Each structure stands twice: as C-alpha cells, then as structure tokens.
Amino acid sequence: MTTTPEQPLSPASEPVVDAEEARLRVGSPADHAAGLKAVTVSMARALRQMGPVKTARNLLTLNQVDGFDCMSCAWPDPQGHRHTAEFCENGAKAVSWEGARETIGPDFFAAHSISDLAGRTDHWLEKQGRLTHPMVRRAGSDHYEPISWDDAFAVIGSHLNDLTSPDQAVFYTSGRASNEAAFVYQLLARAYGTNNLPDCSNMCHESTGVGLASTIGIGKGSVSLEDLHLADLIVVSGQNPGTNHPRMLTALEIAKRNGARILAINPLPEAGLLRFDNPQKPRGLAGHGTPLADKLLRIRSNGDLALWQAIAQLLLAADDSAPGVVDRAFVEAYTSGFDLWKEHIRELDRDAVLRATGLPWAEIEEAAAMLTSSERIVHCWAMGITQHHNAVATIREFVNVALLQGMIGKPGAGLCPVRGHSNVQGDRSMGIWEKPPAVFLDRLRDEFGFEPPRHHGYDAVDTVRALRDGKAKVFIGLGGNFVAAMSDTSVTAAAMRNATLTVQISTKLNRSHIDAGRTALILPTLGRTERDLTGGIEQRVTVEDSMSAVHASRGRSQPAGPLLRSEVDIVCGIASAALRTGPQIPWPDFSADYDAIRERIGRVVPGCDGYAEKVRTGGFTMPHGPRDSRTFPTPSGRAVFTVSPLEVLTVPPGRLVLQTLRSHDQFNTTIYGLDDRYRGIRSGRRVLFISAEDLAELGFADGDHVDLTSEWADGVTRRADRFRLVTYPTPKGCVAAYYPETNPLVPLDSQAAESGTPTSKWVVVRLSPATTS
C-alpha cells in the first residue's frame, strides 16, 4: 500500500485572473454565425498550433468516411455527399487543440510543483501542451514524478485490492471515450464488483434520458438528419447551435430552403439562431447568409414548462374549434393517459404562465399557431432545458405535445435532444451507466460468466458526496475534468483531495490533476486524431452520434509522444493488474485487436448484433422502436402522456437567476481562448451579462466589477469574485456568465428532480461591489 494519512499539499482551486484578462474589451453582439471569419479563425489557429502538414492531414480526414469522427460535438455526418471540409470552426479548434506541438513531460513537472500549478488558470494549464509520460504524485509530495506504465498499473491494482468493498471505487467517464474503450471500462468496473460508473451525462442530458425513457420507452432522440431536412417546423429550445453545434446550422439552412420555419426559444438572442453564413459555400463567404429563426421567444429562465403547457392548451383549444390539430388516430392507437393530461392542461393558470415565461400571451399564441399550421415538427433541445430543477417535467411536456400531434415515427418529425460530447450517447449504449438495465447485466453475465452487481451505483453528484464522506476512496477518470466540470467546486475539489487514489486518463493538464487524491496518477492517452498502433496493427474505434448512427473512426496523425497508450490499452492494463482473481476475461486479447471487443459488444449490447461486421462495412443506425415502427418499449407498450404540476420558481427581492453557459472559445472546461466573438467579448471571461433594467434597479453601471454570492437552503456562502458587468439583451432578472468559472456558485444539492443533474442554468445570486481590484 502506498498511501499515508497526510493531507495533500495542493490548496483548493482559487479563482485566478488570466494575465490577458486585463485587456478585456466589450463590443456589440453579432447578429449572425459563421461566415468568412469562421474560416480564417479556424485556419489561422490550426496552422499556428499544428503546423501545415498536420493541419492538412487532420482537417482533410475530419468527419470523412474512413477518417476520424470530430470530437467537438455529437452532431451526425451527412449520409451521402460530404464536403472536402466537413467541419466547423469549433471542430477545427478541437482538432488543433489536440494536435498541439507543445508537449509536457517530466521536466515540466520537475519545474512546476503542484502548489505552483494550483495558482494557474484552467486556460494556462491546458495551453502547456500534450501530456507525454505517465506521472505519479506520491502521498505527501508536492511534485509529480515519472512512473513506468507497469508500476502505475500496479499502484492502481494494489489500491483497488486494498478496498473493503468494490463500491469504494468510482469509475468516471467523459463522453469522448470510444465505444470499445467504454465497453472494456464498464466490464472492468463490473467484474471488479461495482456499478459506480458516473459520467458527464449525469451533468448534461441525464434529464433527457429520464424524460424520454419514462414516456416513449427509450432515452434517445427519434430523428435522423434527413428528418430535419424534411421538417416544416423546427423548434430549438435552450440551445446555442452557432457555438456548440455549428454543423446543425447547415441542417437548419437546408430545412429552410425546403420551406421549413424555425421557432427558437432562448433568453438570449444567440447569433447562431438569428442568421447563418454557410462558410462552405461561396455565397456564405461574402453574402449575408440565411435568416434562421422565424420567431425567437425571449423566455425567462426556467419558463419552458409553463410555455409548453400553455402551447398545449392553445393546441387543444384550436382542435376544439377546428378538429385536426390533435392526431386522434395516433393518440388512440399508441398512447395512454391522454384524458387525464388534457384535463390538467385545460385548468392551466395563465397568470402563472405569464410570470414564469415573462412573455406576452400574444407571443405564445403566435408560437402555438406555428405548431397548429405544421405537419412535420422536430423538437430540438440542449442544456437550457436539461440543467433545471424541472428539466424532466419540461422534457415530458415536449413529449406530450409531440404525442398530441402524432410527431413520432413519421418522416420529418420527432424528438431531437442534441447531445454534447461526441460519444456520450455511445458510452451509455455500451453500459456506462450507474443504473444499468437488468437485460444488459443478464447479457453481460451470460457472455462473461460472472454475476455483475445489481444495485445501482453513484452518479456524479453522489460520487462527490461519497468521496467527501469517505465512503469512496479511489476515483478513476476515463477522460474529462471532473473537478472543474462538477458543481460546487470547493466541495468537489476537497472531496477529490480526500481520495486515497485518483487516476486521470488524460490528454492535457487540467484542474483534476491538481485537486487530486493523496496518491495521484496521470496516464497520458492517444486522442481521436492520432494513429493507434496498439498490438502492432492499425486499430480503429467506433462511436455513436446524437441520432444513433454508429460508425468507425481512425486517426492518422503521429502521436504526441512514443509512450502514449490508447484508452483501450490503458483500461485493459488496469484490469490485468487489478483483477487477478475472479472472472476470467481475456484482457490482452482485447487490446491486441479491438475486433475482439466488437465481437463481445455484438453479443452483449442490445441492438448491436453483428456489430464488428456492420461497422467494418460502413456502420449502421441503432434500432429505435418509436422512430422505426411506432413501437413503444414502455411497460404498457404505449407512449405515456404525463401530468406535471406547474410550479413557478421565484427569487427573493434583489436577487437574480444566473445561468452558466459556454463561450464561443471553449470546449467545456477546456478554454481555447478568451474571446466570445458572437457575444462581443474579447480577451476576458469574467463577465456577467445583465439587462439594463437590472443594472438600473440594483444601482450598478456597465463596466462595474461585482462579486457574486449564491444563495441556497443550506445557508452556506458560495462566492465567485470579480465579474465585469456587461449590459446585454437578457430578460430582466436573468443573468448569464461562463462555466466553469461559475461552478463554485452551484450548490451540490441543487439538482434536477429525478435525473439529479446539477441545475447549472438556475443559480440564485446576489451582486455586491467587487472587494478586490
């Protein structure tokens, strides 16, 4: 055993200001996304970070058949024709970031103590370059030092074998891991004896999974890319596609050309919802582009449940006067609970709707009219919906309205949760889930001949609680940056420092390597863009996109260093070292040829029969009963209308609701740069977007600096200091600032009902004049 009881030396993450932030500049928000600027930004950055050869090799194979899958989001690739440049500005940034020429190895860690690194910003940490060596921080030391792979695996094996219960270990996954890595990783956790498999989904689309599984019987979206092209109405709720899913704008543009209308629902007038200059078209390079949203409802934060109940009421009323709005044949043949729900909706309190949404009734009527006059409707949503207290109820209301109009399982219509991480949906399919379905565990048992644990494991929030309370002692992270991504940063950081061992399988340095366990390992891994020659053959991996299409991905670049190992190889190495007794699983065979893993996936994962062969011959789409044949795998075999009481959240006087969101120059906790071009921000991230009315009412002025304090039932004071106020068209009472800087303000216990997702889009704050300069 290598642990000692000493406390680690690294202090908690302190908000530190980037040197460049002193030059913060504020301009006007943009009214359109992409265009020539996007091309120049992505090429300049690619050339600077990767050099010309790697730039050409990487960008030309990005999202191409037999190339690699972009890691910047889960938006699908077109089935037929692909552009030579089948990527967006932010995809190019993600590739350039991974392909960085700078590397950090033992010399870097000898020169920088952990205390030193703790004082650096997240932006600085990741900018140092790719990790190249396995490193260990031994208990009591303030430095990482090199360690061999075998020794690193032995350290993990000895810690795991010293635990008194397998449930004292936690296996976290970030949604970038391939299906092969995810499959062997969940197998490792379950063969070891635990379902403690939290993932980034717990902070992301968990509410979607819960909302959809409980209503249509499957927690995934029901559309293909083609459906978006064919729709005559696309609703985009709580999503900023111009920044986070730029290739979705191409689908919206095609839909518009085919005659579709777009209804956007967002507190902010995001540039990507307003107008799109397609950078792949000559017209887009110079012209003014395509107007996108036909209507933008500038809703108050958390008003969506009320809005959709109101729209439902208007649809029912419209059907009363002119039958046909309700698809009676569909409702009768495929659903249950309609009458009860209808009664509930008829009694809706309009005043409550007006308070919750902040919208005039006439605007809600206009939106409802767009639905009544459409035959093929796609409902899209993302974090502006899922990260709220009532997220699951809101998603069930989307489902109710879609069922009412018969919009599931027909061309051009359906439910389209837009996923975040490029393989987060695939990871779930492969069994990365703290609440695995019994059928999955049965098949795992039959295939591998051991009885997997049946009781549920910890999700992301429960993981923090368990580490904090000493119930969990070992944390292994397959990618990601748990400390910075999770809510309540100081609680999460302290919980991680409380672990006896943390292991981070990473490409770049981040906060989770600093706020780490007493013994801490950094295991450097290959990224998506890199050639994987594990076992002496050219390996490929597979991924599943937001629309359930599964395909192969193969990197071509020279790895950042000779010691890097693939995620699959690392997981199999840990498993071989840790599982000396128990089920006989041929780990070395899995890393020698990933086809051996794919054979097992084909036999274990429902819907993946013949997996290895199917992905070899171009990929396939996972089955989806509601989409394919209006078959609803719920207990009753019918889709369910759900009644959700309308509760309007209020805030005490003088308080505001903060939503924490992404700038145009970051990927989650990875900060590429300090600009947010579309919102008019240059060289700075500590800004608070606030309405002119709130500024006047609170007695502050644009340009003032404030400290933020969040308020929560537990009475604990949570602070994030020194944000510059920026007047912005956000509804009164609703403010916005970037994540992860604002995660210290999100209380650990502030979670969405049923899904447990941190409520990153609803944090009650008060402002006070900044105490530091």
Binding site for Mo ion (CB under 5 A): 204, 420
Point out which span in 382-390, 466-474, 494-502, 584-592 binds ligand MGD (CB under 6 A). 382-390
Residue 567 contacts which entry, ligand MGD, Mo ion, none (Cβ below 5-8 A, type-dependent): ligand MGD
Binding segment (CB under 6 A) for ligand MGD, from list 200-208, 226-234, 315-323, 354-362 = 200-208
Q: What are phi and psi of 707, to 5 degrees?
A: -100, 145
Contacts 24+ apart (CB under 8 A), 137-140: 137/8, 137/516, 137/519, 137/520, 137/521, 138/2, 138/519, 139/2, 139/3, 139/4, 139/6, 139/8, 139/518, 139/519, 140/4, 140/6, 140/8, 140/9, 140/518
Q: Least distance in Å: CB of 79 to Mo ion?
A: 25
Of residues 159, 662, 677, 686, which one binds ligand MGD by CB under 6 A? Answer: 662
SS3 assignment, position 38: helix
Nearer to Mo ion, 269 or 420 (CB): 420
* Binding-site size, ligand MGD (CB under 6 A): 62
**Residue 76 found at the interface with ligand MGD (CB under 6 A):** no
660 binds ligand MGD (CB under 6 A): yes
Q: Which does 598 bind (CB under 5 to 8 A by kind): Mo ion, ligand MGD, none?
A: none
* Least distance to ligand MGD, CB of residue 230, Å: 23
* Most distant CA pair in the chain, distance: 76
743 sits near ligand MGD (criterion: CB under 6 A): yes
What is the secondary structure of 340-393 as a DSSP string?
Answer: HHHHHHHT--HHHHHHHH---HHHHHHHHHHHHT-SSEEEEE-HHHHTSTTHHH
Site string for ligand MGD, 222-251 (x = CB under 6 A): ---------------xxxx--xxx------
* Shortest separation between residue 388's beta carbon and ligand MGD, angstroms: 6
Which C-beta is closer to ligand MGD: that of 86 or that of 327? 86
With respect to ligand MGD, which residue has the nearer C-beta, 3 or 207? 207
Strand ranges for 424-540 from DSSP E: 474-478, 501-506, 519-524
| Strand-strand pairing, 377-381 and 233-237 | parallel
* DSSP string across 535-551: GGS---EEEE-TTSEEE
Which DSSP letter does residue 525 get? B
Radius of gyration for the chain, computed over Cα atoms and rounded to the nearest angstrom:
25
761 near ligand MGD, rule: CB under 6 A: yes
Considering the rule CB under 6 A, would residue 176 count as an interface residue with ligand MGD?
yes
Amino acid at 178: S
Q: Which 8-state DSSP code applies to residue 307? A: H
Q: Which single residue is written with the structure tokens 């899958």?
A: 69
Q: For residue 72, state whether it binds ligand MGD (rule: CB under 6 A).
A: yes
Residue 420 beta carbon to Mo ion: minimum distance, rounded to whole angstroms: 3
Measured between alpha carbons, how far is 314 from 320 in angstroms, rounded to an integer? Answer: 10
CB of 427 to ligand MGD, least distance (A): 11
Q: Residue 502 or 634: which CB sits closer to ligand MGD?
A: 502
Is 127 a binding residue for ligand MGD by CB under 6 A? The answer is no
Looking up tokens 């748990």 gives 482
Closer Cβ to ligand MGD, 239 or 634, answer by number: 239
Q: Is 171 in the site for ligand MGD (CB under 6 A)?
A: no
Q: Is the dihedral of CA 84, 88, 91, 95 positive or negative?
A: positive
Q: Does 525 sit near ligand MGD (CB under 6 A)?
A: yes
- Report d(CA 753, CA 751) in Å as an integer: 6
Q: Which residues bind ligand MGD (CB under 6 A)?
A: 72-73, 90, 126, 174, 176, 200, 203-204, 237-240, 243-245, 265-268, 270, 299, 301-302, 304, 382-384, 387-388, 420-421, 478-482, 485, 505-508, 510, 525, 527-528, 567, 659-662, 666-670, 739, 742-743, 746, 760-761
